[in-house]
Amino acid sequence: MRSYLISLRPPTQAIVTGVLIFLLSPMNSFAIFPISNEPKEQPIAFSHKLHVGQNGIACQYCHLYARRSHSSGIPPVSTCVGCHGPHGQELVQADHPEVDKMRDLWAQEKSIPWIKLHDIPDFVRFPHKQHINADASRFIDGAGNGCDLDADPRSLSCRVMLFRNGGDQRCQSCHGSVQEMEVAYVVDQNFGGMGWCMQCHLQVEGVIERKRAMSTMAGWNNAKENDAHRESQAYLVNKRNYHTPNMLDCYTCHY
């Protein structure tokens, strides 16, 4: 196949490759219109690398609603002022031009007009709270094993591993290694795509069983027995003895 493709002229090659990818690619692998992962210019050159990577500030020190609400929350300006101090009472980085921008805005009682990066469509409800507080032990056995962070940090296994590790690493499973970013950017090209979400959710125990196999062959053969058996595999009730949320119900995210 490869040699054949090479023998074609480049435009033809591109078309043929495109069509082949379109037809043959496994379902979970691509977004047709990927999200730009170019870093966007922000009003203030805030460095996550400096704050998180070097100074070790926890994610939820600033994004304080992540464990409590749908939205993780953008830190209020007073959080910045808390460490850096306002004009006249400068504390950390007393004369840094970028920090001064923040102090100017504070003096003018204005907020910082950050550019939104991680933007999921409005018809999706993503509760940060439910993910930050999720029980990581509900992953299937072996999910997240075999992660090689050096080779491919954004592979599925690595994302699951980061999620299992919890803490700030759980944030990284979707947002990437923010602690290494000078300017934050979206790491995954299909961030927020439905398949991208589903990749991880299919690693939760019982979900595959529920998605694929839990069909009823109603009226055809031994439907009841088969379904009862399948249901038992789907972990409808979790270890804390209440029903687990159904990650396959469209209404879980879209309403």
Partner 1 sequence: MRKGLSRRNLFKFMAVGGTTAVAAGCEQKPEKIIPALVPPVEFEYMPNTGYQYMTTCRECDSGACGMMITAREYRAQKAEGNPNHPLNQGALCALGQASLQTLYNPERHAQPRSGSEVISWEDAQSEFVSLLQQSAGQIVYLGRPTVGSEGAFVDNWLNEVGGGKRIAFSLISRAAEQRACEIAFGRSDLPDYAFENAKLLVNFGADFIETWGHPVQNGRRFADMHAYSDGKKNRCIHIGPHQSLSGARADEWLPANSGTEAMIALAMAHVIHQRDPRYDFLDDYLSPYSPELVASDTGISVDKIKSLAEEFHQNSSLAIAGGAWNNSEQATATQVAVFTLNAVANNLGKTLRFYESEQASEDTSHSQILQLLSDLNAGKIKLLIVDDSNPIHTLPKSLGFDQAMKKAKVVAISAGKNETNQRADLVIPALTAYESWGDANPRPGIFSIQQPVMAPVNVFDARAREDVLIAVAKQINPQAFTEINNYRDYIYELWAQVHQNRYFGPFENFWIETLENGGIFEAPRWSNAVDLQNKVDSVAFQTPLLGGSGLALIPAPSIFHLDGRGANKPWLQETPHPISQIVWDSWVEIHPDTAKKLGIADRSVVELSNSQGSLQATVYLSYTIHRDAVAIPIGQGHTASGIVADGFGVNVLDLIPAKTDAHTGNLALISTKVDVIPTTIKSYTVNLDGNPRQLGRDIAAATTVAALTSEKEDHGGHHRPKEIVEFYPDRSETAGYYKPYRWGMVIDLDRCNGCSACVVACYAENNIPVVGKERAAVGREMSWLRMERYLEGYQDETETRFAPIMCQQCSNAGCEPVCPVYATYHNPEGLNAMIYNRCVGTRYCSNNCIYKARRYNWFDYEFPAPLDQQLNSGITTRAVGVMEKCNFCVHRLTEAKYAARDLGRDVQDGEAVTACQQTCANKAITFGNLADPNSKVSQLAKRKPDVLADPDKENRDRQYEIFPEMNYKPAVTYLRKVNHQEVAGLYGNEHGSAH
Partner 2 sequence: MASTTILETVEDSSRSLPFREEIDEHRGHPGIRATTFSYGQINDDMLEMLEKPHPSYFLLVLGFLSALLLGAVSLAIQVDVGIGNSGISHPIAWGFYITDFVFWIGIGHAGTLISAVFYLTRAPWRTAIYRSAEAMTVFAVLTAGLFPLLHTGRPWLAYWLIPYPNERYLWVNFKSPLAWDVFAVTTYMSVSIMFFLLGLVPDMAILRDEAKRRGKILQAKIYAIFAMSWRGTNHQWIHFMRGYLIFAGLATPLVFSVHSIVSWDFAMASIPGWHTTIFAPYFVAGAIFSGLAMVMTVLIPVRVVFRLEDYISNHVINKVCQVILFTSMIVGYAYATEFFIAWYSGSPYERAVFYFRPFGHMATWSLTGDQPVSFPLLAFYLMIFCNVIAPIPLWRKKVRNNLVAVWIICGLINVGMWFERFNIVGSSLQRDFHPYNWGEYWPTLVEVGITIGSFGFFFTLFALFMKALPPMAIMELKEAAEPPMRKGHHEH
Partner 3 sequence: MSTKFSGVWGTFEYLDDTTEAIEELRKKGVEPTVLSPCPRHEIDHALGEPQSPLPFISLFFGAIGCTIGYSLPAWTASDWVLPVGGKPVVAITPFTVIGFEMTILHAAIFTLLGLTILIIIESLKNPIPKAAREYLRFQRDRFGIVVRCEASQYQLYEDLLKKYQAEEVYVEKG
Interacting residues toward partner 2 by CB under 8 A: 22-23, 25-32, 190, 193-196, 198
Q: Hey, what are 93's tokens? A: 């980085």
Give least dist CB 9 to partner 1, A: 28
Give least dist CB 250 to partner 3, A: 8
Name residues whose C-beta falls within 8 Å of residue 175's C-beta, 6 or more positions apart in sequence.
Answer: 118, 184, 187
Q: Does 222 engage in binding with partner 3 (CB under 8 A)?
A: no
CA distances from 199 to 154, 205, 207 (A): 12, 13, 11
Q: Does 217 engage in binding with partner 3 (CB under 8 A)?
A: yes
Instruction: Pick between residue 62 and residue 197 the one whose CB is nearest to partner 2.
Output: 197
Q: Which residue in the set 104, 119, 180, 182 belongs to the binding site for partner 1 (CB under 8 A)? A: 119
Instruction: Pick between residue 176 and residue 193 the one whose CB is nearest to partner 2.
Output: 193
Q: Would you tell me how many other CB atoms lie within 10 Å of the CB of residue 212?
A: 11
Residue 75, phi-psi category: left (phi > 0), alpha (psi -120 to 50), beta (remainder): beta
Tell me which stretch binds partner 1 (CB under 8 A): 6-14, 44-52, 60-68, 158-166.
60-68
Query: What character string, x for contact with partner 1 (CB under 8 A) and - otherwise, covers 206-225?
Result: ----x---xxx-xx---xx-
State the helix-helix crossing angle for 194-201 and 156-165, rounded to 10 degrees.
60
What span, in angstroms and rounded, lies between the C-alpha atoms of 113 and 231? 49
CB 120 within 8 A of CB 192: yes
Residue 204 forms beta bridges with which residues?
Answer: 139
Give least dist CB 198 to partner 2, A: 6
Q: Which residue in the set 136, 181, 231, 247 belongs to the binding site for partner 1 (CB under 8 A)? A: 231
212 binds, among partner 2, partner 3, partner 1, none (CB under 5 to 8 A by kind): partner 3
What span, in angstroms and rounded, lies between the C-alpha atoms of 91 and 102? 13
Q: Does 213 engage in binding with partner 3 (CB under 8 A)?
A: yes
Give least dist CB 27 to partner 2, A: 4
